[in-house]
Structure 1
């Protein structure tokens, strides 16, 4: 369906890709992997034609429909949930508008024998047939099924989209994408804002999808359950194998170990040959043989070991002060939004050394509880923070708090203390 031919991309003199070649066909479910900054999202934008390569081209089959879910989307605020999701069916909605117009004309006009009246009847018959072929009688039930699968409740359907958090609005965009009749799906971190039930639902949906999928995700289990092929971007080139993510990682490691062994043997052979050359050079009678060995050595194709992207980020959460035994205690904490009681009379005791996971379906109050603890929202009940406790909070929508005018270095330096400001560059390069 899609072929990439000698794709190269440069930004300000920096080469991101260099002569990439691959093909996506029906039934391919591809894990696109690589370290952050390797170009995964850029490659999806190139395939979706949101960006264009510096060199090379993509060949896309005629009538091939590509659906693309980026990581960052500018949301619209003009409709409620169900109306926004129906926008996936533009052709059907246009026909409905035309049907309504024609029916109004037929009801109000009295020139029953005129050519215009008869033409309206003919057009209504034709577009009604097209409406049925496009799934006009099924799209509403299909939309409800997708929304429910992604974790929405029927009570959400008439809520304005602007009332949903960024994570839930990403689900709306995912729903619209899945409802369209696409041949290729380009998904950039589709599980980022999904709970476990919605992830399982999405897995089942994608496994039934008949077209091609190119998928970026940090969820290894999700990748293993979905993919049958892996493309890894490393140092401007790609490794492409028809294996699921974990099978590919294990296979690549085996290849690298084989390369290391072969290189070790080759290095030993080269070293022995160089010793012979040095010995023969010392004797005039062996000069011809030395030249022969030099020529032979120059023709050896040196074995190179594929680069391993195995750098691991390590974070050490250091304490500025030793806190007391009790870190946090709540008594009878309750939170209500209008008629929606999120939780009622919650008692929690956190002690020093605890590592706690807040789990539950989306909308059950996990983020709300976190915001209560850090003092972002009001609540009923009692909350006590322990002695010498300093709270660090990383929100789901943390990016919204960043100053887009500052560089990464400036942003982190601004948050650093005198004790760790000198290590900011090392931290960012981790």
Structure 2
């Protein structure tokens, strides 16, 4: 279906990938693993064509279609959930329109023996086959099935997408991709905004998906259930395991143990050769022997073992003043989106030192309440009071809502810093794995994980005594 030959990519002065080769077949469900910064999201972008400046070739077979779940949403304001989801069929609708035109020409032309007439018949057959392949005459049923599976209710279908959070809009984007039935589907953290019920539904959907899938996910159970093949990115290469994630862990452990033993033996052999070279190179009778050892040593292909991912974030919050005993106090707090009342007459208070988990089904207003308390959402009923000396730190559910897409990583961090912490911005970014040229990336090109790391870094640059996540 798709072949990759000699793939290479420079990043920050070094190779991210070098001479990578693999083939993706139609039945493949591939889990992509690797430590932070290994290039998982980058590889997906290369396969999708979003990144084109690389060495080697990505060769699709025939006219295969490739779908990619992007993190950046581009919805037209004012569309309903249903209408936005139906945008998935833009190509199918174009094929239907073309088929109507072809049928019209066939019905009105009389040059039955001409080449042009035969070309129209061939195109009609081709379009009919394509529409049949995409089950183009049962689109509405498919849309309903997928939206319900991803957690929407029937009454949500006619609501404007503007009313939904970024996480719910990402579900719409995922629904559109699933409905397109591409030959190859590229998924970068598809479960990030899903509840357990929706994850189980998506898991079953992908297991039965007729095309190939390349998947990046931190949900290892999900990846084990869906994938039958695992690509491990390490040492600028890709190790290909014909196994799901759980089996890959076993095989990778065995492989690493064998590789470590082989390297240990090789290191001992190299040391012995170097000792002999140093011993004999000054001897007139042994000089030629020493030279032969040097040539042999130069030809040895050194065994390299990629360091295990032991990277840890150095999280130390800035000291802040002690707040008063009461942090928040809410009275008759309410929030509605249009005609939908999310919650109403909510009363509570939060005291210093409490650690509170906010539970509830999807759509019940957990994120909305957090945004109100963080000062992000201003439109609500009732009132709430911020306690004495309370400084709030806020970690958003969807970082794209709070990060400026046109600012770099460094600019976002510097904007969050105080005079005291500004000299340490680059060091702190480095501890969150933003090193070298990575600080010059625009936030709009960051992966979901990178955005979360940047958001955490920003929290450490300013003192606060109350954290909302």
CA distance in 1, matches of 2:265, 2:108: 87
For residues 306-332 of structure 1, what are the alpha-carbon distances to aligned partners after superposition, in whole Å with 9 as ceiling and x for unaligned?
Answer: 233331223222331233454334454
What's the counterpart of residue 456 of structure 2? none
1:5–1:58 CA contact under 8 A, matched in 2:
yes
1:24-423 alignment runs, 5 A limit: 24-77=24-77, 79-90=79-90, 93=93, 135-249=135-249, 251-275=251-275, 278=278, 297=297, 300-375=300-375, 376-423=377-424
- Structure 1 residue runs without a partner (length 5+): 106-114
CA distance in 2, matches of 1:218, 1:3: 26
Give the 3-state SS of the residue equivalent to 1:429 in structure 2: helix
CA distance in 2, matches of 1:14, 1:277: 33
Q: CA deviation at 1:213?
A: 0.4
CA distance in 2, matches of 1:296, 1:428: 44
Give the 3-state SS of the residue equivalent to 1:22 in structure 2: strand
Q: CA deviation at 1:78?
A: 5.9
Name which of structure 1's ranges 17-26 and 43-52 shifts more when overlaid on structure 2. Answer: 43-52
2:396–2:402 CA contact under 8 A, matched in 1:
no
CA distance in 2, matches of 1:91, 1:407: 35
Name which of structure 1's ranges 56-65 and 145-154 shifts more when overlaid on structure 2. Answer: 56-65
Q: CA deviation at 1:404?
A: 4.6
Give the 3-state SS of the residue equivalent to 2:394 in structure 1: coil
Give the 3-state SS of the residue equivalent to 1:185 in structure 2: strand
For residues 157-179 of structure 1, what are the alpha-carbon distances to aligned partners after superposition, in whole Å with 9 as ceiling and x for unaligned?
Answer: 22233443332222222212211
What's the counterpart of residue 430 of structure 2? 429
Q: CA deviation at 1:241?
A: 1.7
Name which of structure 1's ranges 356-365 and 326-335 shifts more when overlaid on structure 2. Answer: 326-335
For residues 72-122 of structure 1, what are the alpha-carbon distances to aligned partners after superposition, in whole Å with 9 as ceiling and x for unaligned?
Answer: 2322336322223223334664577799999xx9xxxxxxxxx85999xxx
Q: CA deviation at 1:237?
A: 2.5
CA distance in 2, matches of 1:247, 1:328: 49
TM-score of the superposition, structure 2-length normalised?
0.75
2:65–2:183 CA contact under 8 A, matched in 1:
yes
Q: CA deviation at 1:32?
A: 1.8
Q: CA deviation at 1:2?
A: 0.8
Give the 3-state SS of the residue equivalent to 1:62 in structure 2: coil
Q: CA deviation at 1:134?
A: 5.6
CA distance in 2, matches of 1:254, 1:350: 51
Q: CA deviation at 1:422?
A: 2.7
CA distance in 1, matches of 2:10, 2:380: 52
Q: CA deviation at 1:4?
A: 0.5
1:228–1:244 CA contact under 8 A, matched in 2:
yes
For residues 58-80 of structure 1, what are the alpha-carbon distances to aligned partners after superposition, in whole Å with 9 as ceiling and x for unaligned?
Answer: 22222422222222232233632
1:8–1:53 CA contact under 8 A, matched in 2:
no
TM-score of the superposition, structure 1-length normalised?
0.81
Q: CA deviation at 1:133?
A: 7.6
CA distance in 2, matches of 1:161, 1:415: 30
Give the 3-state SS of the residue equivalent to 1:392 in structure 2: strand
**Judging changes above 3 Å, is the alpha-carbon distance between structure 1 residues 275 and 100 closer, same or farther for their aligned structure 2 residues?**
closer
- Structure 2 residue runs without a partner (length 5+): 112-120, 432-469
1:334–1:346 CA contact under 8 A, matched in 2:
yes
CA distance in 2, matches of 1:329, 1:213: 48
Specify the structure having the higher radius of gyration (Cα): 1
Q: CA deviation at 1:229?
A: 1.9
CA distance in 1, matches of 2:304, 2:43: 26
Runs of 4+ in 1 over 6 A off after TM superposition: 95-102, 126-133, 281-289
CA distance in 2, matches of 1:88, 1:18: 35
CA distance in 1, matches of 2:101, 2:307: 64
What's the counterpart of residue 108 of structure 1? none
CA distance in 1, matches of 2:338, 2:202: 31
